[in-house]
Chain A
């Protein structure tokens, strides 16, 4: 740039480098790539503390995956746009395919490195895209292809293994993770150094480069611009003719690719959304029968009832009263161990008055209820009948 500002210069001091549409696409790419990296790497390193903290801050793993999927969708749409845009530039505008790599780029790279080592005299003179930029662009292309394919496999594992072996799914996951790490590291080392650290290159935001920058970074392109070789305008008639061919083709292609994306995202219902059912469910509460009791089982009642002491009444007294009024223990000096004991009574006198159940102390006590050896109503009925019948022994 001339220091004599008063001298009128016809050449522009700023050169357009990126069209606004390219800048918007780059911004979307930046957003989607960053989102994919921020939500993806914590999944790759899920068991580390930092990953866990990040996933938690996003609202959990399911939300993290949702963000990842949305960002992937944005990147897929961006890729479709880019393909159609490239198509337009190649087939309609017939622009020079300045991003294609060639032998010259290898030479430029070697020359730049040799220069940096102090072994060469000059840096390479490069055109619209330097070997550094081409490397980055094609790395992105490679990355998107790998991430797209492996992402598809993980998103649609049932479809993927219809033809391929099942092992391809964990392999896809391994490649997806490896490629992600590579991409993020490349962005940090290559991209951030190249356009942020070395010199902050604002052209992706302003769209412009100064003449000095052009001279330093893209001298061959600058020369071509000045010579009027690049940015040739296609005459409107030819342009329209080419457009009428390209637009329908691009439209069909766009629909096909969008359907592809739709299939990618919505193609299969991989799994049920509910918690898996228990394989052989059994009812939880199934008590064992007969239900075990906390102490020994009671003595079973005898079958036929014979209303004599030796028949049913004696054993009934034994079972119900024997514990306290038996041979070992004779509470209140009362025992029902034998017929004679029963009739004899205890410290309060006779408890059984033959033929007088209502007058018998035993019946009175039992009717009051709550006696430790309590007869059931039925049993007491039998005992009363027996007393009424004269309390026979045999």
Chain B
């Protein structure tokens, strides 16, 4: 019996609260401060969110758009309460809606709806929004490509959960896994490559937090065009952020000498000099990803693709040196430091000069110093140099 009473009473309660809140809204809408941490505003928010959800909680609630698309209007209250925005009032973002019926929607299509709404994010997230203004997506957008990602494409404001640890500011492990899936919504072909790579398979398969997720290399919000000269010459430093860190690499037995051995070589020296002296100019000298792959990076001992297999390395060389022969890959010391067992000729040439130069120059210096001394002695004595 109790249940049925409740069932009858529920709509009335909702209706009452709705009417109450609608009248409140007209007064409150202009006063509500948009703020991320808004604990003091819980009560009015609860009231008007309930009012909004009274309609917007209905499954399948949608509005047809002139484009023929249908704008879904259902907000899943459960998801919303799990989101980072749970303490916000609907009207904090939907500032133009304070009455019912709502003002006319001017958007012609779903994309236009997003386009009209996403700049609201900057009211609270100005730092991130300003960063996006410097991003490749913003450049594409400015060039007229409305497919370019905007805030809400990656962060659904109604369901976005916490991505970073509030105390450390570091990405949460689950966020690292979610990020590639977000990017995949537009870059699915790249995602497929990444998923099969040594990095992607470890992240998506095992949730390994040591491997890079998209934003570790591409950045977040101010994502740069990765096809520029600047990105190219800077990229070795991106890879080396992790690959020179013994704390990460030692776990997998990966040497951390990869950057200095690269920089010591002709290719790496050139790229590093470009990076330092003229980062905006193109160099065709290879960077890490030219040999190891971009998103499809494989283990070096991968039997099919790994560069430790000489034929794979030769194929990589031939991308730039089409006439390379079987001996050629050894001209690159594969990130090894020459030793009596690895690249011994180089090791012994270096050793030779390490001994030869001091010997020759030392011998010369001894003679020169003896000559100086003799001349000084003779000058003091007033003797003619014999």
Contact = CB atoms under 8 A, between A and B. Distances in A.
A269 B278 CA distance: 25
A175 B55 contact: no
A259 to B, nearest CB: 21
B187 A272 contact: no
B41 interface: no
Nearest to A120: B386
Contact of A282 (B14, B54, B193, B289): B193
A46 B320 contact: no
A283 B191 CA distance: 11
A60 B316 CA distance: 27
A12 interface: no
Contacts of B63: 372-374
Interface stretch (B123-131, B243-251, B326-334): B326-334
B353 A326 contact: no
A161 B328 contact: yes
A118 interface: yes
Given A164-B327, A167-B331, A295 B277 contact: no
A274 B193 contact: no
Given A279-B294, A298-B72, A329-B18, A189 B361 contact: yes
A319 B60 CA distance: 6
Nearest to B60: A299
A287 B188 contact: yes
A177 to B, nearest CB: 8
Interface residues of A, number: 93
A164 to B, nearest CB: 7
Residue from B56, B356, B367 with most neighbouring chain A CB atoms (10 Å):
B367
B377 interface: yes
A218 to B, nearest CB: 15
A8 interface: no
A233 B263 CA distance: 59
A18 to B, nearest CB: 23
Contact of A198 (B186, B293, B371): B371
A50 interface: no
B328 A158 contact: yes
A185 B158 CA distance: 71
Residue from B72, B273, B328 with most neighbouring chain A CB atoms (10 Å):
B273
B63 to A, nearest CB: 6
Contacts of A291: 185
A282 B190 contact: yes
Nearest to A287: B186
B176 to A, nearest CB: 20
Interface stretch (B29-37, B167-175, B279-287): B279-287
Interface residues of B, number: 105
Contact of B327 (A61, A162, A283, A331): A162
Given A46-B269, A118-B377, A178-B353, A275 B319 contact: no
Contacts of B11: 327-330
Interface string A238-281: 00000000000000000000000000000011111111111110
Interface stretch (B88-96, B98-106, B198-206): B98-106
Interface string A11-47: 0000000000000000000000000000000010011
Given A181-B353, A193-B368, A285-B186, A294 B114 contact: yes
Interface string A133-156: 000000000000000000000100
Interface string A168-202: 11110111011101100110011001000010000
Interface stretch (B207-215, B234-242, B338-346): B338-346
A211 to B, nearest CB: 15
The 3 nearest A-B residue pairs measured at CB = A166-B330, A178-B353, A299-B60
22 contacts: A47-B272, A52-B276, A60-B273, A60-B274, A116-B371, A118-B377, A170-B332, A182-B353, A182-B357, A190-B364, A198-B371, A198-B375, A268-B323, A270-B321, A272-B284, A276-B284, A319-B62, A323-B58, A323-B73, A330-B15, A331-B100, A376-B64
Interface of A: 43, 46-47, 52, 55-56, 60-62, 109, 112-113, 115-118, 121-123, 154, 157-158, 161-162, 164-171, 173-175, 177-179, 181-182, 185-186, 189-190, 193, 198, 216, 268-280, 282-288, 291-299, 319, 322-324, 326-331, 370-376
Given A193-B368, A282-B190, A328-B11, 16 more contacts: A46-B272, A52-B276, A60-B281, A116-B374, A158-B324, A189-B361, A279-B294, A280-B193, A282-B192, A286-B188, A287-B185, A293-B110, A296-B74, A297-B72, A373-B63, A375-B64
